[in-house]
Amino acid sequence: MNCHGVVFDGSDQQGSVRFGFLKCLRTLADYYGPVGAPGVPARPIWPALWLDAGFFHAVRKYEDTFLKFNRAASHLDRCVDTLKRNHPLGESANVLEVISAVDDAPLYLDLLILYLRVQADCIARVVPNLYGQEGRRRDIARGSFRGHARWFRGRVPEFDSTYAEILSGNLGWFQTLAGGTHGEGLRNLVVHRSGVYQLAQSTDTDGGDFRLHAAIVAEGAAMSGDVVLEIQSIVNGYCAYLDATLAHFLEIITKRGGPQLMERGPDDSEVYRFEGGTSTEWVYPVITRAVGESAA
């Protein structure tokens, strides 16, 4: 659906960030909020039967975590820019700036990993409501995304076989993040295996394309790959999962008498615009580089 990622409007200096699944949840929460909220109309029958206080709170938490994730991505980008400006480290380098960037980068890497894990758990909390009364009556796992995936794929796959297939085909990102058949997972290395970061810098032969490399070294000699690249890969997979999930639940909501969402298609998934470049676009997949031109 191309509803999750970055769209550049003809240059790398302006465009928009799309995050359609959260945008639709936010629309539902804003329009169908609890009766008595300022500026919110009385809830009609449809959302009164589907949505509850737990849903509204989970949407708020999801949005809060999404914004904090973007902020952490922005701060890490500033660290990389500082290291790039002072590379190679010579007489003209600002050593204090470099030390600060090196000290701060692991903090923001930790936040990116943890905020991605929290976003996944928020999805587990909101999805049951998207099935209406049936979803609220069933014991769909809400506590964590791992339990959520196990419920749909293993315990009761017949409840929604299409969504079970979406999960089965789009779990690599979560396993890289939280552990599974692909190994420990970045979050487990940091939280449970006493992982610490090992940083390095590189440029190509012409001195351009500066890159920050980071690996997590954990107890027992366990070691991650390049965390910066793995976070980008996780987000790419996460956005692909969200694209498929959004399309699926838009169809369910419409068929069961819910409101029309995303009437303009992917354009309705825009969450914010930027001009002069944004320091968060590095972490998201690029949908288009120019008007009418898809990203490779």
Q: Is the peptide bond prior to 259 cis by the omega test (within 30 degrees of 0)?
A: no
Ordered DSSP codes for 222-287 = -B-S-HHHHHHHHHHHHHHHHHHHHHHHHHHHHHTT-----TTGGGGGEEEEEES--TTGGGSPEE
Q: Which residue has the higher pLDDT, 280 or 116?
A: 116
**Higher confidence at residue 91 or residue 28?**
28
**CA–CA distance, 20 with 133 (Å, rounded to integer):** 24
Q: How far is residue 122's CA from residue 135's CA, in Å, rounded to a whole number? A: 16
140 by DSSP, 3-state: which? coil
Supply the pLDDT for residue 41: 52
Mean pLDDT of the chain: 86
Q: Provide the pLDDT confidence category of residue 292 given band limits of 50, 70 and 90.
A: very low
Asked if pLDDT for residue 296 goes beyond 50, the answer is no
* Confidence at 290, pLDDT banded by 50, 70, 90: low
Cα dihedral value 39, 32, 116, 72, nearest 10 = -10
Tell which wins on pLDDT, 289 or 44. 289
CA–CA dist 288, 11 (Å, integer): 10
CA dist 180 and 277 (Å) reads 36
Q: pLDDT class for 273, splitting at 50, 70, 90?
A: confident
**Residue 48: which of 59, 57, 56 has the closest Cα?**
56
pTM metric for this prediction: 0.89
Q: What are the phi and psi torsion angles at 226 (to 5°)?
A: -70, 110
Percent of the chain whose predicted confidence (pLDDT) is above 70: 86
DSSP 122: H
**pLDDT computed for residue 3 by the predictor:** 95
pLDDT score of 196 = 93
pLDDT tens-place string over residues 86-106 = 987 776 789 899 999 999 999
Of 1-5, 245-249, 258-262, the least confident = 258-262
Is the pLDDT confidence value at 72 over 60? yes
**Residue 53: predicted pLDDT:** 85
| Residue 19: per-residue pLDDT | 96
Burial code of 178-192, b = ≥16 C-beta within 10 A, e = fewer? bbbeeebbbbbbbee
Compute and round to an integer the Cα radius of gyration of the chain. 21
Tell me: the pLDDT tens digits for 226-237? 999 999 999 999
- Residue of higher predicted confidence among 223 and 116: 116
pLDDT at 222: 67
Mapped onto helix, strand or coil, the DSSP state of residue 138 is coil
Q: By C-alpha distance, which of 290, 119, 112 is closest to 212?
A: 112
| More confident: 72 or 254 | 72
Contacts of 156 (CB under 8 A, 6+ apart): 138
Q: Scan for tokens 């030390």, then name that residue.
A: 99
Q: Which two tokens stand for residue 251?
A: 């169809």
Residue partners of 106: CB distance under 8 A and separation at least 6 = 196, 197, 199, 214
Percent of the chain with pLDDT over 90: 56
Read off the pLDDT of residues 143-184 as tens digits, 9 standing for 90 and up: 999 999 999 999 999 999 999 999 999 999 999 999 876 568
